[in-house]
Amino acid sequence: MISLTLFLLGLMTPDSDAAVADAPRSGSYAELSEDGRSTCGQADSNRFELLLAPGGEPPHNRSTNVGEIEIRIEGERHYFVLTATPDRWQFGGGRQHTVGIELGGVTSAFLTGRLTLNLERARSSADPSVRTDALRILDARYSPVRRGHNRSMRVYVADGATPGGRMLRPFLRCGDYPE
């Protein structure tokens, strides 16, 4: 009976080791230059800082918050708290609205607004044998109101491009999330 219970629990577990490995990694990311070189050392490059809770699971009992992201696209910097979705490459979230308890860098604070963030794994080289941690931002949108007109929606990235229409190149992982 115990082995049957353990077997059933294993089926219900949402994450296997492979699923956890197939998720974005926390770290500092910078957009590759036009010629494919790293821009990690350039302060004015498009970049983002991503912090995710270990295993992608909320560290708080009463919160779905799983991390944070600071995005700098075309010189504008924006900070958001991330919430979990069933897809480890998509996130909800918003801006921190209340004070919360922080565990492992993840706050349990209540959020305001509505963030939609979609990431995907990317190749940083045309040579498929070159393996690096690189991500693409497919979509990043924020509305300061949870419900309402789309006029309030702020689009940072849509279909992999800036609001001006420039396609973003892959973002190369430069190192761990800054402390």
Banded model confidence at residue 116, pLDDT cuts 50, 70, 90: very high
The first and second tokens of residue 161, run together, are: 């491009």
Please tell me the distance from the alpha carbon of residue 103 to that of residue 53, in angstroms, as a whole number.
9
Taking the domains of the chain in order of start, what are their residue ranges?
27-173
- pLDDT confidence of residue 150: 62
**CB 135 within 8 Å of CB 80:** no
Average pLDDT over residues 148-173: 87
Radius of gyration of the chain (CA): 18
- Residue indicated by tokens 């604070």: 109
Percent of the chain with pLDDT over 70: 78
pTM here?
A: 0.80
Better-scored residue on pLDDT, 109 or 7:
109
Please tell me the distance from the alpha carbon of residue 167 to that of residue 103, in angstroms, as a whole number.
36
Per-residue pLDDT tens for 130-145? 556 899 999 999 998 7
